Amino acid sequence: MATRATTGTVAHTWRIRNFGSVREIFSTGKLYSDTFWCPPLLPDKQQPRSRTVSVGDSHHRGHSDAPSSSSLVPMSWVIIIYPNGNNRKDHCSCYLRVVPTLEEKQRVGWKRDYMNFTMQMQVVQKKTKFGAPETMDLVTWTSDNCSFDAENPDWGNHKLLEHSKLPPIETDHDLFITIYITFHIVEPHLPKHFYSNYNLKPILAMSPASSSPSSSVADPDSDSFDEDDSAVQFVFPPLDLTAQLADPRFVDITFRFPGDPRLLHAHRVILTPRAPGLLDHLSPSGEWATSLEPIVVMNAPYDIFFSILHYVYSSRFPPAETADARLNDVQFLIATYEVAQTYKMDELMTRCAKQVAELADDEFKLTKYWAQLFRFGFVIKERAVRDKVLPWVINHWDEVKGSEALKLLTAEENLMVWLKDTFQEIEGRSTTE
């Protein structure tokens, strides 16, 4: 990251590497930049003679003759981006957030008043047919006069950039966000209706204590890692939430499993909007909302339920022995789907079904798990799975007709109904074609 400043403005550039992958990983999340600072806020008539001072590797224009007081502490900021939008999935949302100084935290009613800022976005594609990077300007947006305080610590644009203006998600490209902040005092002039500009409406106010980024997943062994460069800040969620879900501190709901001594812990405030069907199924009387007793999970083993909770918190499965082990485990995906169906978690069901359909293209997995795939395809009427496994069963009928797996399948009460419906559908599709 790079920051540069004059007596009137500060400019900060944040580079997000491989932004296409970031959009895929953070389908519902947000990212924070490193904290950056600008010179103290002074009235125009008090602006002293300036000189250039060096802070680390960045050069800022400071104040040499200013009187020494706590009000001259540099102001800190952070940039927030929602790669897939805060409330519009087809846009990138971006905000400027204040990081309160110690002086501000100690002063009731602190405010950084009547400030302006401009956001610019550029994209750099690393590989072109000419072998050189290609830079493309995407958008420039300027705010009205803004007042930053404890209740409204961030301002920005919910619909800053349409995804259609970005390169394809599979294309290797970096995103550059540059913020220009006008930090000198201006005359107060607020619109009559303060929130009349929808794009400038602040996002949900958060505690100033949570404003500063706390974690990074930059890989020191990566070729692109540079201690002085801009490592993308992945504040929430981390890749693995095992420690958090096993930690009994700061939680208000606990799950236990018959015959398994391990417990899982969670937060009602997260489960209520993200997985209401889970709570309603496990505690239909509504006791989960007030009771401090552990909830007994009868329909899912610890590993499956842990994966579901991990998905509720982060929209992804926990890492296994290898990064992609769970997404290549047919039995795990089917078991997770069935539990998610019980809890009415449609998004998770869809993702499991899609992944199972992709695994059904693998001849080895078809041979090993044909019975589970066969039943899965017919139970949920997932055409993509069913149309792949049925021809395989027909072509390998001599191998499967006397197998124990087929005997278990034929014991299914609705098997013949599934087969009849399938053949009728196939016949109807053939007639239409």
**210 and 320 share a domain?**
no
Confidence class for position 183, pLDDT limits 50, 70, 90:
low
Task: Say whether both 67 and 10 belong to one domain.
Answer: yes
Q: Structurally, how many domains does the chain consist of?
A: 2
194 and 296, same structural domain?
no
Residue 217 has pLDDT above 60, yes or no: no
Domain that holds residue 310: 242-432
* CATH, residue 126: 2.60.210.10
Same domain, 290 and 225: no
pLDDT score of 302: 92
Mean residue pLDDT of the chain comes to 72
Tell whether the model's pLDDT for residue 238 goes beyond 50: yes
If asked whether residues 19 and 158 sit together in one domain, one would say yes
Task: Look up the CATH number of the domain holding residue 317.
Answer: 3.30.710.10
pLDDT of residue 424: 61
End-of-domain residue from the set 236, 259, 287:
236
Whether residue 153 is found in the same domain as residue 273: no
pLDDT tens digits for 157-173?
A: 999 999 999 988 888 88
191 and 291, same domain (yes or no): no
Would you state the structure tokens that stand for residue 227, as one six-digit string? 């201690």
Same domain, 283 and 303: yes
